[in-house]
Structure 1
């Protein structure tokens, strides 16, 4: 369906220039604290992981240190697993799902895998509850060479020399995708904006080139014990994409510059939680992210 929301910045048919981007940035404000909410939890995990600062984001509004949690006594004989959250900072359960897994279930798998966990790729966007970074760039469309997004470039550099067996990237699909973020995208790029029906429930996104349907099925079955799975819309799609199996669609991750394509891992999945559903709570959303990770790990370990 066509967008019914006009956007207050820019002129129809004209892409944003620096003036419009500055106007957009001027109306963003801090709503929560990366240091208080995220870094405080990272610090508590110092006895279970090597905590390493892998980069800093430097913006006019301030500097944000980026941290990763790395398995203690990294063992080259074990397969490596990458877990990322907060690529879109407003997608809250991705951040806290990664942290919750690190604080709880990760200990059950440390003898089987090496973990590299990046709980919050985009801390400025976390604080301002945004999809974009301060330069009006979407980090989750910017994982490619010479990336214009500091967040994406930093993560790419972090993982460049590491071979991963699995990567799971934790996301959400929210009502604000239609009410704010897609209208802003249409205005920024001067393109016609199409709304999509927001799926009511959890779903995953596989990689078109390596869809791993059995992995996605294992994730769905694990999450289904915690929360409900999104049904397809009346056209058999989720967010405009053809349903591949229950709760699963596929994207061309590398072509689109998505975080899920940042490595050459054999097993790849992007989770999508729906936090605006009346059937869930913030805690339930976090549990769903953890269930997705453990479901994926159990599958990979057995296969």
Structure 2
């Protein structure tokens, strides 16, 4: 067992205060460009989609516009399909998978569905390849009214008018080796707890909603992604990241109760993807392709069963 003393910030078993958060924030270095890698590709889509600014984040003199991409010719009689990525800024294929989906397949659903895609929910964290925002808050435990996370609050506000109209929401994530080497130790240190090491699953898996599971929907996505990359096996305890595997490559969380992004709306079909980019069996492009395959399968299934 590893204790929080292995993390370089804070006092073991004492939650962080403002000084520790400031020290953590000072260690975060910009490593890539949201403007070049996200905003610019979105701008290139303006001739095919409607692009809107749904908010802006201001952090220490830096400004990050938050962009949403919608189907052109939005129709109220069509179902709404929601795709979100970059809730955690270090989960790269979520962002680039969403952009690749729009570029290569967004037009496939013209006249069949309204697409709403938010490729990068957390731009500050994207640039720093981090999980948290500058206040050491994880947006993906805070998607609720009155959220302390500006990233989460902006998305909740954007989706509020559509909460009951969205048929499908797929949230694109990754599980990485850095979860065990950095982010979970940092979480334990921040909260004044003991760090209990876990096991990073090698492969793709999904998180269904335990309050309203849709096993056939999840299976359709797993089947599609299996054509692109390998599906994560359960560990020796029959679990994936500490949760029982309910079907090959599928676990369940209480999405709304935990304040997770995929629980924002009342969509019938919801899922969170988890790609493993550190696998020796997967390239970065395969990770992006896996996200695209998941999005396409999710939309296709929801359309085929919309009247069900």
| TM-score when normalising by structure 1 | 0.98
Structure 1: segments with no counterpart, 5+ residues: none
Matches within 5 A, 1:267-282: 267-282=269-284
Query: Would you say 1:220 and 2:222 are equivalent positions?
Result: yes
Matched-pair contact (CA < 8 Å) for 2:4–2:12: no
Matched-pair contact (CA < 8 Å) for 2:5–2:11: no
The match for 1:290 is: 292
Shift of 1:193: 1.9
The match for 1:165 is: 167
- Going from structure 1 to structure 2, the CA distance change for 1:186 and 1:70 (only over 3 Å counts) comes to same
Distance 2:168 2:8 in 1: 41
Matched-pair contact (CA < 8 Å) for 1:206–1:249: yes
Among 242, 245, 251, the alignment partner of 2:244 is: 242
Distance 2:116 2:5 in 1: 40
Shift of 1:258: 0.5
1:44-99 C-alpha deviation (Å, 9 max, x unpaired): 10011100000000111411000000110110010001100000010000000000
Query: Would you say 1:264 and 2:259 are equivalent positions?
Result: no
Matched-pair contact (CA < 8 Å) for 2:4–2:189: no
Query: Would you say 1:133 and 2:117 are equivalent positions?
Result: no
* Consecutive aligned runs of 4 or more in structure 1 exceeding 2 Å deviation: 1-5
Matched-pair contact (CA < 8 Å) for 1:204–1:269: yes
DSSP-derived class of the 2:300 partner: helix
The match for 2:199 is: 197
- Going from structure 1 to structure 2, the CA distance change for 1:213 and 1:106 (only over 3 Å counts) comes to same
1:97-133 C-alpha deviation (Å, 9 max, x unpaired): 0000001112111221101100000000000000000
Distance 1:4 1:286 in 2: 34
Matches within 5 A, 1:1-303: 6-162=6-162, 163-303=165-305
Shift of 1:300: 1.2
Distance 1:72 1:137 in 2: 34
| TM-score when normalising by structure 2 | 0.97
Shift of 1:5: 7.6
Distance 1:109 1:277 in 2: 32
Matched-pair contact (CA < 8 Å) for 1:70–1:115: yes
Shift of 1:192: 2.0
**Number of corresponding residues:** 303
Shift of 1:259: 0.4
Structure 2: segments with no counterpart, 5+ residues: none
DSSP-derived class of the 1:167 partner: strand
- Going from structure 1 to structure 2, the CA distance change for 1:64 and 1:295 (only over 3 Å counts) comes to same
Higher mean Cα deviation, 2-11 or 105-114?
A: 2-11
Matched-pair contact (CA < 8 Å) for 2:13–2:194: no
